[in-house]
Structure 1
Amino acid sequence: MALSKMDNLYRQVILDHSAHPHHHGELSDSTNEIELKNPTCGDVLQLDVKVENDTIKDIAFSGYGCTISQASASMMTDAVMNKDTKTAEDMIEAFSDMILGEKSDTDILEDAAVLKGVSQFPARIKCATLAWKALHKALNKD
């Protein structure tokens, strides 16, 4: 099956985010932290978030995983930076709906919308959603 030029572009964006992830590292002044694991494939993600006045002021992730999980984490950190926590939660819901093949507002997802094709590969859905689930859990920790 031949890839269209658009599919090829999306693939390049995913590969670039995986090879050169944005916001990769740790925060020394995070207000919210969490580590999640995907036991299916072994992905591990540590997420550090700095929230001030209900706004994500800084975010970083570390850990290891497949191309999809690393690219998704990189895109997620770009998308939610400087967003209020309500908007971030809306983005998490939109991403989850998109990955599950449901109707969603992909415009708010920025580059992360290119991961829509993952919905065709059920084994990769947990990889793509790991960072987004981590953010949800980090923002809602008691």
Structure 2
Amino acid sequence: MSDQHSDLRELYQEVIFDHNRNPRNFHAMPDASHTADGHNPLCGDQLTVYAIVKDGLIERVSFVGHGCAISTASASLMTEAVKGKTVQEAEDLFRDMHAMLTEAQPEARDFGKLEVLSGVREFPARVKCATLAWHTLHNAITRARDTARTE
């Protein structure tokens, strides 16, 4: 394994562990204008995403729930990434994140801190854990009525 690959894996693990132990924006938001539930029945991950959207802008976003470290960390990172973005920017990021996590050669984009989630691609069974929060956000901001599922 190259030193660069080893460094990336170490960074990936550090960020995942940090966001799992200390998830950002982890609280219910009773005044949310948009909400959705997500569930991965295969591993038991469950979450609810809350957002306050005004004039097409995601002013605040949070989540509650329980799941594995990857699921929790992904939700935490997601809330930081989309706060202050337009709904369209969040939808574009959802599409690009899904591609980064599922495609061998995703389109080049600067994902910033979200780049650490690319390591999940090496573990296909965990991709659904990493994408659950993103599918749930998508359902919240598009006001889809169904529970987001990764199965």
Give yes or no for TM over 0.5. Answer: yes
What displacement does 1:62 show? 0.3
Distance in 2 (CA, whole Å) between partners of 1:63 and 1:120 is 25
Q: Look up the match of 1:70.
A: 72
Work out whether residues 22 and 74 of structure 1, in 8 Å CA contact, stay in contact via their aligned partners in 2.
yes
Q: Could you say which residue in structure 2 is the equivalent of 1:30?
A: 32
Structure 1 unaligned spans of 5+: none
**1:130-141 matches, cutoff 5 A:** 130-141=132-143
**Counterpart-to-counterpart distance in 1, 2:42 and 2:108:** 28
Amino acid at match of 1:4: S
Secondary structure, in 3 states, of the residue corresponding to 1:73? helix
SS in structure 1 of the partner of residue 130 of structure 2: helix
> Corresponding residue for 2:147?
none
Q: Which amino acid aligns with 2:126?
A: R
Q: Distance in 1 between matches of 2:61 and 2:113?
A: 17
Residue 34 of structure 1 and its aligned partner are, at CA, apart by: 0.8
What SS does structure 2 have at the residue aligned with 1:4? helix
Within the candidate set 95, 99, 114, 2:97 is matched to 95
Q: Tell whether the 8 Å contact from 1:95 to 1:104 is kept in structure 2 after alignment.
A: no
Match of 2:58, as an amino acid? I
Given the alignment of the two structures, is residue 49 of structure 1 paired with residue 51 of structure 2, yes or no?
A: yes
Contact 2:51 2:60 in 1 (8 A): yes
TM norm structure 2: 0.88
Q: CA deviation at 1:112?
A: 1.5
Change (3 A) 1:81 1:105: farther
Q: State the match for 2:15 in structure 1.
A: 13
Give a deviation string over 1:61-84, Cα, whole Å, max 9, x none: 000000000000000000000000
* Alignment of structure 1 residues 76-115 onto 2, 5 Å: 76-101=78-103, 102-107=105-110, 109-115=111-117
Say if 2:11 and 2:116, in contact at 8 Å, map to a contact too.
no
Q: Distance in 1 between matches of 2:108 and 2:31?
A: 32
- Which deviations, in whole Å up to 9, do the C-alpha atoms of 1:48-105 show, x marking residues without a partner? 1100110000011000000000000000000000000110001000100000024134
Deviation beyond 3 Å, 4+ runs, structure 1: none
* Cα distance between partner residues in 2 of 1:66 and 1:134: 16
Fraction of identical pairs, as percent: 40
Q: Which amino acid aligns with 2:114?
A: A
